Structure 1
């Protein structure tokens, strides 16, 4: 702690020790948690390497040590559905993984304590196929996973199937086909049955999925599959088998994603613990896990209650749910072994970290952290979980981070600029886990309001369905209402309100600036500006998403014109900065470039930062630095807070000195 009097400085200009370089270097993405190894005691996960062009490497915690299994240039990542996930599987001391550069599956045999690990060996031939979400069928010497096969010319929709891949020769055999999408193939403990999920256009998996079950015949093919749950209006996720061979799954048939179990005869689904909480999450990526089995009679689960994660022990026989003490408010992934729990979790003062809870000991063991060096606690902004009234009498939810820096304070009577964040998805959810990127702003004197607008997950299906047919309206209204609520509470400067968002949140940002007069400036990260163009250029997974968010065709055409900001640039008079990956296949660069050109032509201050080698989301450390510094500079210039002697990281068109 310092004993010196704090410096007086205007909000938005505070000097901070949380530099853009520190944000880029300190935040290591962590995902895809797995358990395995020779005795099942090893913990595996993927870590993003921003300094290595954003590649994902596979790490293993073995005994008391952590080692890296996949050296550069291997990038453990799948492109199925473009969003990927489920990129590797562990079988004893063997790992099978998808290499992002060529989409081929590779095999890696690793020794328990031997430092000299063999190199990965390609299992499948190169081609147009991609793989994800695979399980090991050891008895038949094969993997079973989702295959996405693209056409030779790159046109038309790819074909998705459940496919077997021979471990010895890489031979591919289709086991299930005919649906538009597949996920979650799960082999029963005795190896005699396979469960999986399907869904078809125009539904997204959080709208309606079907759970199938089939016996595996002597030749390895599947017998006629039987639908055991789900359909058009029921979303099923995460099917899993208990150790005694009962099929469990998460369903939102009650309006909330709750846990269910099929009977021993594999008929009829029993709700294990009905409650208004979410035991599942939307299928954006493969391999999500929110529950697991300690034994046949005990489930360890995490669920989301009003936007915050809880950890509990569920006893299916009685339906009793017992809380498990832990310090986290977000539990992103959960894996369970008979003796311990492994989690990727975080909280308001805790970055995302890999944690282990032993059933025989108290406390939490931290195995890895996404941020190696944390800021001082008295420099951290701890968010308030707030709710506020929005349009049509609904209540919206958000996390509010007030400006905080122990060494600086603002002049008496002044109020801070506030950045309102509209998350992506839009069927997504923002959480309050410590992020240096947020603290970058709050430590400089900006407030941040991170909004879970209507349509977000974590609050039940009715809240999620508020966005049905209302994208660009409900999400925008809730962001606008949040900004106004902060002004009314004396927490924000009405003349310095900012909105920023990425992907779908970029559309929210653009609509808020185009159709409302609350925000003074905005930032779009690979944001949607043209709904018709989004349909024309979209990939298969999201190619019918707008049927839910806007309307089915042909009714959607008029609404596309009405809600697409690109058609209303005459109404957009607020300065904006755009960031765009030039390799983005989800929201192509022309979406941003059309808006930039329109604003230039109208004389509105605008900046454009295109990034080579980046797709939908930025992974390279140098680009994380570049975008943060450019965004800060842009806001300071617009609000007259800049240092005239400072070097300009970007050019701003139509802005006079």
Structure 2
């Protein structure tokens, strides 16, 4: 630990939060499940090349159900999710290496259910009476430009039967308690599921065949998510028909609202298996909802619609599951990294079963964010989390202001949260301020806010980031000459557009970012292949807008130093999106650095990749702003850097 009297410039503070510590804490938790008294969850292990494994807590014992080499991931829609299911002590899961479904009976080694081939599976449910799973299936061997998506029955004998087909996409097959009805979601191009989905209901005969399929809710302009059956067999779901994702039920053939509120009880369907509510009984739903970007936990009386808060410590809640008096959820807060908690409703006691970060630095090195709102272009209101620099051992001296890193999240239909992340504290503990922006188009603020990005991608998101940086500089919280923007995926386009078409930021970092909208359309996977029709415009109107908004077409205007990071196995934003920009900046003499990573796709999972990219990004900023220690080894080459050969 350094001396408390130490003085160092902002952006060059010595910090105990190393890149290796960030990587060691990269243990993402997901897919929580309750099976009787047992709790299951998935955890990602950066130290094992990003492998994801299924864990179980039974009593006081935690057991790994899927030891190496099993990797519990699905690639349906490329973003996956819904890769595991546990029922009556039997685990079912998708193995990433071969995309096959496996079954692991209690205490036994996993065995394959499906044959090797071109199929992928996700979001399955057990149909015990018919000895099968009902699953979303994506067939990559059918020929044609894109795979074919269906709902499929996978027998425990390995047989496969298509139950529902014809739509472009399917999700959330849910079997009624008596096994006689099946509900599911579907949608078609050009819509994304947060624009318009359909909720279908069908009868199942004794053989399990589907009949009398009928549309019961949803449509082109209504987004429905998370259909669930109550214990008595009443179909419930979340719809944004009011402008907010609220809870509804289908009773007597009519759709009834359960709790009208300007809050979000659902979220965008980027991946399968999300859960924001569950039944404690027919009379009571336990739910989480988002107000102004912050999660709340509550019990909802299904008869009266009364919503009663449940006291808890979290500001982000997801993956909520309920069994009797037990709640299991993933929760986080500004001082709490994402963790798996079990809450007893009767006593209120909370037990933490797993941590995404097992070792935290002392509080004196952790920045606590402030939720802020500010005026953006045209009088719009934008939202963000502001993190001041924080390090108990260092004083910045007098008269200086910190460099600012503005983060544009991915999606772009996504959401920034305030949960403690070491990847953010890595920067703040070194004397950087951070602004994590929920720009127009983000979820958590209602459909109107989400739709403010319609036709405006590369404009509204960029303006909100630019105005956020100016707002903090105006308040004296950031040095206007050292403003940085960084983003991944869609946030990479925000970064590139901000640096190309505005003069506020002095440097930037793009993680597998979009630079060429036309090229993205040409190379895109099925799930997002029409996304730009919403974000930009349908053909042929989009052609001219693509030319105007794609940074690759305006590289002569990009004069700011940039660093690019790219996984070479990325199927969502292919490597050429980054390499074209790097080549252009290299040719125009702008300082540029480029790091490619073997074996990484859309998002970096390996510990070595996390360490290398963070250290390279820090070095890049410190060189650009004259903060790098003399003689320090260079983790990445910066081309066209003044003063170098």
Give the equivalent residue in structure 2 for 1:583.
569
CA contact under 8 A between 1:6 and 1:406: conserved in structure 2? no
User: Partners of 1:235 and 1:475 in 2: how far apart?
Assistant: 22
Given the alignment of the two structures, is residue 140 of structure 1 paired with residue 130 of structure 2, yes or no?
yes
Give the equivalent residue in structure 2 for 1:247.
235
User: Partners of 1:240 and 1:20 in 2: how far apart?
Assistant: 42
SS at structure 1 position matched to 2:43? strand
By how many angstroms is 1:27 displaced? Answer: 2.4
By how many angstroms is 1:268 displaced? Answer: 1.0
Give the equivalent residue in structure 2 for 1:607.
593
User: Partners of 2:145 and 2:287 in 1: how far apart?
Assistant: 40
By how many angstroms is 1:3 displaced? Answer: 11
User: Partners of 2:428 and 2:110 in 1: how far apart?
Assistant: 44
CA contact under 8 A between 1:106 and 1:124: conserved in structure 2? yes
SS at structure 2 position matched to 1:478? helix
SS at structure 2 position matched to 1:431? coil
Query: Which structure 2 residues correspond to residues 423-442 of structure 1 after superposition, within 5 A?
Result: 423-442=409-428
CA contact under 8 A between 2:83 and 2:122: conserved in structure 1? yes
Equivalent residue in structure 2 for 1:119, among 104, 109, 115: 109
The answer to which of 608-617 and 90-99 deviates more is: 90-99
User: Partners of 2:121 and 2:396 in 1: how far apart?
Assistant: 53
Give the equivalent residue in structure 1 for 2:89.
93
SS at structure 2 position matched to 1:507? helix
User: Partners of 1:623 and 1:152 in 2: how far apart?
Assistant: 35
Give the equivalent residue in structure 2 for 1:618.
604
By how many angstroms is 1:551 displaced? Answer: 0.2
Unaligned runs of 5+ in 2: none
Equivalent residue in structure 1 for 2:102, among 103, 106, 126: 106
CA contact under 8 A between 2:239 and 2:248: conserved in structure 1? yes
Give the equivalent residue in structure 2 for 1:159.
148
Give the equivalent residue in structure 1 for 2:181.
193
User: Partners of 2:310 and 2:640 in 1: how far apart?
Assistant: 56
Equivalent residue in structure 2 for 1:238, among 226, 234, 237: 226
CA contact under 8 A between 2:320 and 2:329: conserved in structure 1? yes
Query: Which structure 2 residues correspond to residues 179-328 of structure 1 after superposition, within 5 A?
Result: 179-263=167-251, 265=252, 267-328=253-314
SS at structure 1 position matched to 2:273? coil
User: Partners of 1:569 and 1:426 in 2: how far apart?
Assistant: 23
By how many angstroms is 1:336 displaced? Answer: 0.6
User: Partners of 1:332 and 1:403 in 2: how far apart?
Assistant: 28
User: Partners of 2:513 and 2:335 in 1: how far apart?
Assistant: 30
User: Partners of 1:411 and 1:290 in 2: how far apart?
Assistant: 47
User: Partners of 1:128 and 1:240 in 2: how far apart?
Assistant: 30
Give the equivalent residue in structure 1 for 2:546.
560
Deviation readout 1:448-468 (Å, 9 max, x if unpaired): 000000000000000000000
Structure-2-length-normalised TM-score: 0.99
Give the equivalent residue in structure 1 for 2:485.
499
By how many angstroms is 1:26 displaced? Answer: 1.7
SS at structure 1 position matched to 2:272? coil
Give the equivalent residue in structure 2 for 1:546.
532
By how many angstroms is 1:152 displaced? Answer: 6.1
Deviation readout 1:468-499 (Å, 9 max, x if unpaired): 00000000000000000000111000000000
CA contact under 8 A between 2:197 and 2:222: conserved in structure 1? yes
User: Partners of 2:580 and 2:492 in 1: how far apart?
Assistant: 14
Give the equivalent residue in structure 2 for 1:115.
none
By how many angstroms is 1:377 displaced? Answer: 1.2
By how many angstroms is 1:6 displaced? Answer: 2.9
The answer to which of 354-363 and 386-395 deviates more is: 354-363
Equivalent residue in structure 2 for 1:173, among 161, 167, 174: 161
Query: Which aligned segments of 4 or more residues in structure 1 are displaced greater than 2 angstroms?
Result: 2-6
User: Partners of 1:273 and 1:121 in 2: how far apart?
Assistant: 44
Deviation readout 1:326-385 (Å, 9 max, x if unpaired): 000000210011121001010000000000110121332111111111111121100000
SS at structure 1 position matched to 2:210? coil
Structure-1-length-normalised TM-score: 0.97
Deviation readout 1:107-145 (Å, 9 max, x if unpaired): 11123xxxxxx2211110011100000000000000001
User: Partners of 2:521 and 2:34 in 1: how far apart?
Assistant: 39
CA contact under 8 A between 1:196 and 1:213: conserved in structure 2? yes
Deviation readout 1:572-606 (Å, 9 max, x if unpaired): 00000000000000000000000000000000000
SS at structure 2 position matched to 1:633? helix
Give the equivalent residue in structure 2 for 1:362.
348
By how many angstroms is 1:4 displaced? Answer: 5.6
